[in-house]
Chains A and B, each alone.
Chain A
């Protein structure tokens, strides 16, 4: 349990610095910056303490906003996704989701993809709605959400493979 916590703290800061110093400067096609830091909230233990996750999500978004001179979009988006995670898990894995650790290996591929997709898309939708914050920019918000979600999703999926191999 203790080494687990240390691993979590390590992951937290690794993803945070990776996001703020590397991934936020990619600007693929001028506007796409995959938000890989979401991985931390996605792979947080399914039976972990949800209250703690909300606090972690808030702190993570806040630190990211401070590091990247953001206005506060990451804070609100990450906080909200951390809060909604429980409902998303229930929705995508069904009611008896309480497979403790090996959820990603044990569950169906379809369920897994639905879970990742919902997490990523909802997070990005909130993030860009907050950043643009105006009905006139609805098209821009949807466009950014779509493309950035796509790239984040791919990165999350790839990195998940890496993490799993290491854990085994």
Chain B
């Protein structure tokens, strides 16, 4: 104990310096967006590489179960393809104009415990991923790309308290904004839906077409309960997600080919 105290006294200047240096780096990180983005990019490079090493091992051990999932997804896709083929005769033009291109990716780090969650996927700008692209999975939406490196990207999960997503009712198109309150990874809130729209428990919620990130009509979840406040003109709706974001492995990044044109319109 005494030796410890002596050692501490001997190096007190160095320890004090390191402590204050850490504080000043935190200060720097707080105050400057430029430094913040460099720090977060560096931490993305570090954590993505470390996590991929771990993920490679665990994904090898899970090959059998992920195979099953892939087969199930393939069956579903095959069904959709067949439906599409049958409708293609009259809808040829619509599919040609579909502005989204799909990039497949694997999640190498998934987080859902904190209030602001991020994922890391193994596709970066070399694979064509860009910032602010939407990310979906086989049965719902995942989030939006926010940082990219050469081979990895970090994605803001929809389980993030500061993100709001445009969503609408499948049956009548009434729309609102979907956000997460930070508790259960399958429960979200839908806000800003006007009370003039009739809704029921069990109604399906899909992505609205008003965001650039997602195409219209990807199923997100269903209404689990709702309240109609007396004084406000908006419902208070609880949504239960279809997808379980705690068990995802493969995702698809959506590249909006028309985004430049949309932005041009918006900022002019």
Chain A positions within 8 Å of B, measured between CB atoms, are 50-51, 54-55, 58, 61-62, 65, 71-73, 75-76, 79-80, 83, 86, 130, 133-134
Contacts and interface: CB of A to CB of B under 8 A. Distances in A.
Contacts of B31: 65, 71-72
A79 B27 contact: no
B34 interface: yes
Given A61-B24, A72-B32, A73-B28, 19 more contacts: A54-B16, A58-B23, A65-B31, A71-B35, A72-B35, A75-B27, A75-B28, A76-B21, A76-B24, A76-B28, A79-B17, A79-B21, A80-B21, A83-B13, A83-B14, A83-B17, A133-B34, A133-B35, A134-B38
A72 B38 contact: no
B20 interface: yes
15 contacts: A54-B16, A55-B20, A58-B20, A58-B24, A72-B24, A72-B25, A72-B31, A73-B28, A75-B24, A75-B28, A76-B28, A80-B17, A83-B14, A133-B34, A133-B38
A72 to B, nearest CB: 3
A100 to B, nearest CB: 20
B12 interface: yes
A86 B24 CA distance: 21
A80 B34 CA distance: 22
A58 B23 CA distance: 10
Contact of B12 (A51, A71, A134): A51
Q: Which of B12, B20, B32 has the most CB of A within 10 A?
A: B20
The secondary structure that dominates the B interface is: helix
A27 B28 CA distance: 23
Interface in B73-114: none
Contacts of B16: 51, 54-55
Contacts of B20: 54-55, 58, 79
B41 to A, nearest CB: 11
Contacts of B14: 83
Contact of B13 (A54, A71, A72, A76): A54
In the A-B complex, list the 7 residue pairs whose CB atoms are closest, starting with the nearest.
A72-B28, A71-B32, A83-B17, A75-B24, A58-B20, A72-B27, A76-B24
Nearest to A61: B24
Contacts of B38: 133-134
